[in-house]
Amino acid sequence: MVAAAVLWGTAGTAGALAEADSVSLAAARLVFGGAVLALVAASSRRSAPSASTWSWGLAAAAAAVAGYQLCFFAAVQRTGVAIGTVVAIGSGPVFTGLLSWLIERTPPSRRWALGTTAAIAGCAVLVMGGAGMGGADPAGIALALLGGLLYAFYAVVAARAIGRGTPSPVVMGVLFGGAAVIMLPVLLATGAGWPANPRELLVTVYLGCATTALAYLLYGRGLRSTPVATAATLALAEPAVAALLGLVVLREQLSPISWGGLALLGLSLVVVALPAVLPGRAVASEPSPAALGSGP
């Protein structure tokens, strides 16, 4: 899970090295990465998912993958990068925990709730850098929240499918292969000429192969044994990695308050990731993906 978040965190730095429009680059990333994941799924010799899983659960989740991309960039355009990122990424773990609770009828652990709350606060401080919330657009915030909900939906659907025995490469291939088909018209409409630029082509290959295909293969593998609510919280390592790469590669600067947010985020992720064991007894944690898959 952390390795996947690290790869996601490199996407912003890689994208900054290209000259393409952000929406076009995101569409190209999803189309290219989705194609790679679909090929991996097709080449898998393990059991295929049932017809109902293909047509209902994963098909709806594939639409959610594409919808998340569109909502996120629309939110950023309306309300700014900082606020849009904090609301979309920060609301994802909350929605994931709530959806898991509704499905399994078991509330997440207190430690998860405290760790996730602290991680979201650290993420907000890191990204905002002490800036005020003035100028926030209500419609943009609503789109960012919708993006967080869509992310939670496809994460929970993926965890349930994997918990029921569908191979994780197949799950990710269906999700992102379907999303690639949906996003292909967006790519053709916004950046059909991107393959002519060698730098943009190289960046797109990296974004598709590393930050999408490889990252979601790792994410799917992690969902075999990691509760989906915990996985969503661990994904908050993404903005921390992005901030550190911005410092090293792009020569950006962090304010003292942003450094504080980075430290809080890092400590919170450690709390969430460590095994929930106290001396002499185990502490209850969130339901596993297998348990999530046992529901109706």
Q: Please provide the DSSP assignment of 197-240 as one string.
A: SHHHHHHHHHIIIIIIIIHHHHHHHHTTTS-HHHHHHHTTHHHH
State the pLDDT at residue 261: 78
Q: Which of 20-24, 25-29, 135-139, 183-187 has the highest mean pLDDT?
A: 183-187
pLDDT category of residue 296 using cuts at 50, 70 and 90? very low
What length is written for the chain? 296
| Residue 46: pLDDT over 90 | no
- Selected residue with higher pLDDT from 80 and 96: 96
The Cα–Cα gap between 127 and 162 comes to 33
Nearest 5°: phi and psi at 282? -95, 145
Mean residue pLDDT of the chain comes to 78
The whole domain housing 135 covers: 2-275+284-292
> How many angstroms separate the CA atoms of 201 and 223, rounded?
31
Higher pLDDT, 239 or 100: 100
For the ranges 133-147, 166-180, 277-291, the lowest mean pLDDT is seen at 277-291
Contact yes or no for 119/265 (Cβ under 8 A): yes
Structure tokens at 254: 């962090």
Going by pLDDT thresholds of 50, 70 and 90, the confidence category of residue 35 is very high
Q: In angstroms, rounded to a whole number, what is the distance separating the alpha carbons of residues 93 and 89?
A: 8
- pLDDT value for 219: 93
Q: Which residues contact 82 (CB under 8 A, 6 or more apart)?
A: 127, 128, 129, 131
CA angle 34, 102, 98 (to 5 degrees): 65
Q: Name which residue leads in pLDDT, 60 or 270.
A: 60
* pLDDT value of position 62: 93
What pTM value is reported for the model? 0.78
Q: What is the mean pLDDT of residues 72-77?
A: 81
Q: Is the pLDDT of residue 143 over 50?
A: yes
Average pLDDT for 87-112: 82
Give the total number of structural domains in the chain.
1
pLDDT at position 292: 31
What would the pLDDT profile of 202-254 be if each residue is shown by its tens digit? 888 899 999 999 999 999 999 888 888 888 888 888 877 877 777 777 676 76
Residue 129 has pLDDT above 70, yes or no: no
Tell whether the model's pLDDT for residue 287 goes beyond 60: no
* pLDDT at residue 54, as a whole number: 56
Q: Tell me what the mean pLDDT of segment 111-119 comes to.
A: 81
Residue 285 pLDDT: 37
Rg (CA), the chain: 19
